[in-house]
Amino acid sequence: METTSGSDTTGFTFFFLNEADTVEAMAGRIVPGNEEDPGAREAGVVHYIDRALAGPYFGWQAAYREGVRTLNAYTTERYGKKFFELEEEAQDDVVGALERGEIPGFGEGSEAGKFFTTVWAHTVEGMFSDPAYGGNRDTVGWKLVGFPGAQYGYSAEEMRYGKDLSEKPLMTLGNIQKLAREKPELFYRRPGPDPSVPAEETPEMPTRPGEPEKPPGGGGA
């Protein structure tokens, strides 16, 4: 088998491969794109979602697993193919039907009930959150909308109506963290005493016996 000289770090740690392909195809219909004009696929949104599900969004794992299975069962019956194998036009028809609640199996009460909204919300997050989260590759999401990213601040000259800021270098969390290491004097340090650090900073949450695990709560967190 032929291997590249560098190691590829883009593997999936939660999704099975066909799940990743399905979610990536869906994200690609939510924010469509191509090489010249990148969308969610080019931004690597599926990697953002995979990482989130393996971590803070573990509560949504079942919704994705069941949602992808139900969606592919539907397209297989109707078109003889999995969702990601369909032409883009057919994918759009399916996503539209999903959004309108017309696909069987996505009813209220099932884990997949809010599947479209879930994938949509997480696609937008992966498109526009910092690249450190695994999406928004090469800051294509921020370039699309004209967002300069993690900027330390803006000058009066920059904050003028109609001013073209397209040449302002984009900053990511990684970039600003480098700045903070190199120029800590730019930042604020609180004067005066700081209480001693308690041995254990994070309270443990007791679990109630017999209670099912809930999806993460507010803000998808």
Partner 1 sequence: MANNKHADIVIVGMGAVGAILARELAEAGFTVLGMEKGPYYRSDDFWTKFDELRYSTRSEMSPTMDTDPVTWRPSAGTPAQVLPWAVGPQPLNPLWMPPSVGVGGGSIHWAGWAWRQLEEDFRQRSEWAERHGEEAFPEGSRVVDWPISYDDLEPYYDRVEYETGVSGKAGNLDGELQDGGNPFEAPRKRPYPFPPLRPSASNQLFVDACKGLGYHPFAPPVAIISEDWGERKACVYCGFCRDYGCHVGAKTNTLDTMMPRALATGNLELLTNCRVQRVNVDAQGLARSVSYTDAKGERHEVSGDLVILSAYSLENTRLMLVSGLNRNGMVGKRFMIHNYNWFSGTLPKETHAYAGPAAAGWAIDDTNPYAEDRDGANFLGGTPLMYFSGDVQPIEAATVLMPPDVPMWGKRYKEWLRHGYRRLFGMYSQMATLPSEANFVDLDPKVKDPWGQPALRITHDWYDNDRKAALWIRQVKHGIAREMGAEKTWEAPLLPPYHVTTHDMGTHVMGEDPGESVVDPYCRSHEVPNLFLVGGGAFPTYNGYNPTLTIQAITFWVADHIKRET
Q: Which of residues 8 and 201 has its CB atom nearest to partner 1 in the complex?
A: 201
Ramachandran region, residue 8 (left: φ > 0; alpha: ψ -120 to 50; beta: rest): beta
From 5-13, 77-85, 104-112, 142-150, give the range in contact with partner 1 by CB under 8 A: 142-150
Residue among 7 and 202 whose Cβ is closer to partner 1: 202
What is the smallest separation between the CB atom of 2 and partner 1, expressed in angstroms?
36
Identify residues 30-89 at the interface with partner 1 (CB under 8 A): 30-33, 39, 56, 60
Kindly state the smallest distance separating residue 36's Cβ from partner 1, in Å.
13
213 binds partner 1 (CB under 8 A): no
State the nearest-atom distance from the C-beta of 74 to partner 1, in Å: 18
Q: Which of 41, 42, 63 is nearest to 52 (CA)?
A: 63
* 106-111 CB contacts, 8 Å cutoff, 24+ apart: 106/67, 106/70, 110/66, 111/62, 111/63, 111/66, 111/67
Indicate the helix (H) or strand (E) that contains 79. helix 61-79
Of 21 and 125, CB closest to partner 1: 125
Strand partners, 149: 171
Exactly one of 6, 203, 209, 210 binds partner 1 (CB under 8 A); that residue is: 203
- Pick one of 150, 167, 170, 182: the residue that binds partner 1 (CB under 8 A): 150
- Residue 78 neighbours by CB distance under 10 Å: 14
Task: Tell me the C-alpha distance between 106 and 109, whole Å.
Answer: 9
Of the CA atoms within 13 Å of residue 115, those in its CB half-sphere come to 34
Residues 79-118 that bind partner 1 (CB under 8 A): 92, 95, 99, 114, 117-118
| Least spacing, CB of residue 33 vs partner 1, in Å | 7
Interaction with partner 1 in 156-195: which residues (CB under 8 A)? Answer: 156, 158-165, 171, 173, 176-177, 180, 184, 186-195
- Please identify, using beta-carbon distances, which residue of 2 and 200 lies nearer to partner 1: 200
Among 89, 182, 202, 210, binds partner 1 (CB under 8 A): 202
Distances (CA, A) of 22 to 17, 52, 82, 87, 181: 9, 17, 8, 13, 41
What single-letter amino acid sits at 164?
Answer: D
CB within 8 A of 84, min separation 6: which ones?
Answer: 18, 21, 22, 24, 25, 91
User: Judged by CB under 8 A, does residue 221 bind partner 1?
Assistant: yes
